A and B are shown apart, each in its own frame.
Chain A
Amino acid sequence: MSAVVSPIREPLVNGGKTYHQITEDICSPTERAPSPMWIAAFIVAVACLGFGVASILWTIWQGIGTWDLNRTIGWGWDITNFVWWVGIGHAGTLISAILLLFRQKWRTGVNRAAEAMTIFAVICAALFPGIHMGRIWLAFFIFPYPNTRGPLWVNFNSPLLWDVFAISTYFTVSLLFWYTGLVPDFATVRDRAKGFRKKVYNFLSFGWTGKAKHWQRWEALSLILAGLATPLVLSVHTIVSFDFATSVIPGWHTTIFPPYFVAGAIFSGFAMVQTLMLITRKVLKLEDYITVAHIESMNKVILLTGTIVGVAYLTELFIAWYSGYVYEQFAFYNRAMGIYWWSYVGMMACNVLSPQIFWFKKARRSIFVTFFMSIFVNIGMWFERFVIIATTLARDYLPSSWSYYTPTWVEIGIYVGTLGIFFTLYLIFVRVAPVVAIAEIKSILKSAGDQYTGPNAQKHHEENKH
């Protein structure tokens, strides 16, 4: 073997795998009957989904009045959840696109599942503006198509319309990117399958055979899609932040929003990836592919982005004071000390303070700490959006219209429903598709497998020689 041996770099594939073992380990979960744990999780997820569908139907039947929105607080849980889900949907493309451009090899262990998560999160996100329109059967009005009303066009100057374009583009591109990566792996599953399964995977694999020229084009395509997806992923949350930043509400009308939203999105997205990956690697026995080294790398990203978000919170406070603008000052005083002070505390504690634990290597490499932190971060990021939306709206320019907002069961139901949609789709995904990118893991085996790198490499290498 001519592979370079490096005893210093940490291996990304453990267990001295061969190519065949990789195929076996990653494909076999899709070939086994579902475990009782999977079935139990699926039933819970579908039950949540069902509750969500019922709540959505109730909203559509009765109208938006079933939510506790009022004249002052026009955006509540719906837009909070929308921004939260879009944010979660950022990690997948970041991992697969930006880390591909940076040639980060640890990407290969988690990119498949993270991209799947992205797609499911964007589906959940897109649901909220759809229902919030009130008359969902007219939702196609948001697209600029020639019509008999003039033709009356949509407002291309509106950030809400930019959102339509950003999110639909993001969804399409993520889906294509993800599926193109899946095609060779579906072919692997196809070639192991028999009978009806073979037919299904034959359809899904698009007739992939693994020709040298096809691999070359496939790599070229992946690289260019990554190059395009990188600015795209940054643009999506930037445009979501424009929904707030281009308005004239104190606390929203700030130029810091785009970078601050993007950092927050990556932060929450990685946290959700951690939550899912820690469970997936355990249940599907993929600890050799999604290693502690992967978890540590992601925790470093969480620490960095969490700290960026923290700096953004403090900058907002400083600028509010320094601007000398009383409305801005009041908005931030109200966030920290007003009626929703508890959500501000939750946000600060979960997003800024708790991730600092990852300065310690022991914590970064602890599965227990990582799991709890990932949940904290997602709670914190939900609070962040709630703080920005509800707190700001509840205390507007006119004290006579100040109000308070609590969600109704319908709004909670829709939120639970999106969690149901998300987990239902994810659970189906782990049953149907290879959760780790098989071909990509094989291609890094000789540079990142533990036979070739890490403390045991030299030993393996000597053994192979004799």
Chain B
Amino acid sequence: MSKNTEVLYGLYNDEEILLDALRNANKKGIEVMEVYTPFPVHGLDDVLGLSESRLHIAGFVYGILGTMTAFGVMTWIFTRDWPIIFGGKPYFSAPAFIPITFELTVLFACVGMVVTFYTICGMGPGITNPVLDDRITDDKFCIAFNVNDASNEDINGLKSFFKETGAEEINTKTI
């Protein structure tokens, strides 16, 4: 991490209260840095204005790649590299290639998407990302603000926002 970020965060007890707080923040035009939840909360994407994940497009591309690899390699081997007659069938016996083509399509799409997912999320074996509060993966819902360049006044404003919207705890942490 190049630069440490000063974070002011509030913890909420329920996802409904969190969603209301975020709507409130939107109304006031407060810029939210990040929201952390213990489970996927429905409606959060809309409130935060997150665009739809494009992971499925990546998956489609990987899948097509798998289809072409499997079908292409089998065709090349059986018509060019080493043609053998099996049971009097033609060298290019497309129906017999279907099962492996299907399996490799699924394999490429899945492996590709999972690798893409961890890469774009900045996760993977051995990677440690800063945790704001240990209870976020348990039962607390967290809104975090970046207060690197915030004045005392701004910080007090954010704190009163947390109090107004029903946050249980307000803390700061440098990550």
Check B31 for interface membership: any CB of A closer than 8 A: no
CA distance A120 to B108 in the complex (A): 22
In the complex, how many angstroms separate the beta carbon of B12 from the nearest chain A beta carbon?
A: 12
Contact B100 A1 (CB under 8 A): no
Contact A209 B107 (CB under 8 A): no
Contact B39 A172 (CB under 8 A): no
Check A274 for interface membership: any CB of B closer than 8 A: no
* Chain A contact residue count (CB 8 A cutoff): 65
The stretch among A31-39, A160-168, A309-317, A345-353 that forms the contact with chain B is A160-168
Contact A173 B77 (CB under 8 A): no
Q: Find A224's partner among B34, B113, B139 (CB 8 Å cutoff).
A: B113
Given contacts A20-B139, A217-B117, A439-B40, is CB(A212)–CB(B48) below 8 Å? yes
- Which residues on B sit within 8 Å (CB–CB) of A327? none
Contact B53 A217 (CB under 8 A): yes
Given contacts A176-B114, A224-B55, is CB(A153)–CB(B77) below 8 Å? yes
- Which residues on B sit within 8 Å (CB–CB) of A157? 86-87, 89, 93, 96
CA distance A216 to B37 in the complex (A): 11
Q: Mark B85-96, 1 if CB is under 8 A from A, else 0.
A: 011010001001
Residue of A at shortest CB range from B120? A217
The stretch among B123-131, B154-162, B165-173 that forms the contact with chain A is B123-131
Grouping DSSP codes into helix (H, G, I), strand (E, B) and loop, the A interface class, with mixed when no group exceeds half, is helix
Q: Mark A195-234, 1 if CB is under 8 A from B, else 0.
A: 0000000110011111111111111110011001101100
Q: Find A220's partner among B56, B87, B111, B128 (CB 8 Å cutoff).
A: B56
- Which residues on A sit within 8 Å (CB–CB) of B16? 1-2
Q: Which of A23, A172, A217, A225 has the most CB of B within 10 A?
A: A217
Q: Mark A426-455, 1 if CB is under 8 A from B, else 0.
A: 000000000000111011000000000000
Given contacts A206-B127, A210-B38, is CB(A173)–CB(B59) below 8 Å? no
Contact A210 B103 (CB under 8 A): no
- Which residues on B sit within 8 Å (CB–CB) of A18? 139
Contact A221 B136 (CB under 8 A): no
- Which residues on A sit within 8 Å (CB–CB) of B11? none
Check B29 for interface membership: any CB of A closer than 8 A: no
Contact A239 B99 (CB under 8 A): yes
Residue of A at shortest CB range from B47? A212
Check A268 for interface membership: any CB of B closer than 8 A: no
CA distance A232 to B111 in the complex (A): 14
Contact A215 B40 (CB under 8 A): yes
Q: Find A166's partner among B39, B84, B93, B103 (CB 8 Å cutoff).
A: B103
CA distance A192 to B40 in the complex (A): 20
Q: Mark A241-275, 1 if CB is under 8 A from B, else 0.
A: 01000000000000000000000000000000000
Check A155 for interface membership: any CB of B closer than 8 A: yes
The stretch among A65-73, A180-188, A278-286, A383-391 that forms the contact with chain B is A180-188
Contact A212 B123 (CB under 8 A): no
Residue of A at shortest CB range from B22? A212
- Which residues on B sit within 8 Å (CB–CB) of A443? 39-42
Check A102 for interface membership: any CB of B closer than 8 A: no
Check B1 for interface membership: any CB of A closer than 8 A: no
Q: Find A218's partner among B40, B73, B89, B130 (CB 8 Å cutoff).
A: B40
Contact A207 B127 (CB under 8 A): yes
Contact A20 B138 (CB under 8 A): yes
- Which residues on B sit within 8 Å (CB–CB) of A438? 39
Q: Find A144's partner among B77, B107, B135, B137 (CB 8 Å cutoff).
A: B77
In the complex, how many angstroms separate the beta carbon of B108 from the nearest chain A beta carbon?
A: 10
- Which residues on A sit within 8 Å (CB–CB) of B42? 443
In the complex, how many angstroms separate the beta carbon of A393 from the nearest chain B beta carbon?
A: 21
Check B147 for interface membership: any CB of A closer than 8 A: no
Contact B103 A211 (CB under 8 A): no
Check A324 for interface membership: any CB of B closer than 8 A: no
Given A20-B139, A207-B129, A215-B39, 18 other A-B residues pairs in contact with their CB atoms under 8 A: A18-B139, A23-B38, A23-B137, A144-B77, A151-B82, A157-B93, A162-B100, A172-B110, A191-B134, A206-B123, A208-B129, A210-B38, A219-B40, A224-B55, A228-B109, A229-B106, A242-B99, A443-B41
Interchain residue pairs with CB less than 8 A apart (12): A2-B16, A144-B77, A150-B82, A151-B81, A157-B86, A191-B138, A216-B45, A221-B114, A224-B55, A225-B110, A232-B103, A443-B42
Listed in ascending order, the chain B residues whose CB lies under 8 Å from chain A are 14, 16, 34-42, 44-45, 48, 50, 52-53, 55-56, 59, 63, 73-74, 77-78, 81-82, 84, 86-87, 89, 93, 96-97, 99-100, 102-104, 106-107, 109-111, 113-114, 117-118, 120-132, 134-139
> Lowest 9 CB-CB distances: which A-B pairs, in order?
A19-B139, A207-B127, A220-B53, A207-B129, A191-B134, A439-B39, A162-B99, A215-B40, A157-B96
